Amino acid sequence: MIEVGIVMGSNSDWEVMRHAASMLKRFGIACETRVVSAHRTPDLLFQYAEEAAPRGLKAIIAGAGGAAHLPGMLAAKTPVPVLGVPVPSRYLRGEDSLLSIVQMPKGIPVATFAIGEAGAANAALFAVAMLAAARPELAEQLVAFRREQEQTVLAMTLPEVE
């Protein structure tokens, strides 16, 4: 069963959003990926949002650049938690996207993550944590992942000073 939707405004956003899909795959969480444009396909956006909960989605990770209306518009049309990922833009490096996503009005929340690949991966990890609240085996995988992260840092060395 597909539990997480990953949507983006354009296929050019895939280079960033694939990091979310990759992270979910690592945890064995089924996801779907789609291009849904807030501006060019608003009817599709509304349909996707309205059908998300009945189809069993537990979270939607939405990546958007520029005006970045996709995450907010999805959140306005579905009770499913929306995790927003600002995609770097050509002229403002994604800062415009970040501000657009994070500045949601009171009552329509969008969890907002860092700009780019780290944000996409962290949005997926956040979705994993949400799902793990009700699934002990997933919680164990998440703990093991964090231990792995810890071991990676503990194994790091620095070069000698010359």
- Contact (CB, 8 A) for 58 and 80: yes
3-state secondary structure of 161: coil
Q: Which residues are annotated as a binding site for substrate?
A: 10, 13, 40
Task: Report how far apart, in Å, the C-alpha atoms of 68 and of each of 39, 124, 157 are.
Answer: 10, 19, 40
Residue 64, judged by CB atoms within 10 A of its CB (0-12, 13-18, 19+), counts as buried
Q: Which residues are annotated as a binding site?
A: 10, 13, 40
Quote the CA–CA distance of 6 and 48 in Å, as a whole number: 11
Largest Cα–Cα distance of the chain, in whole Å?
63
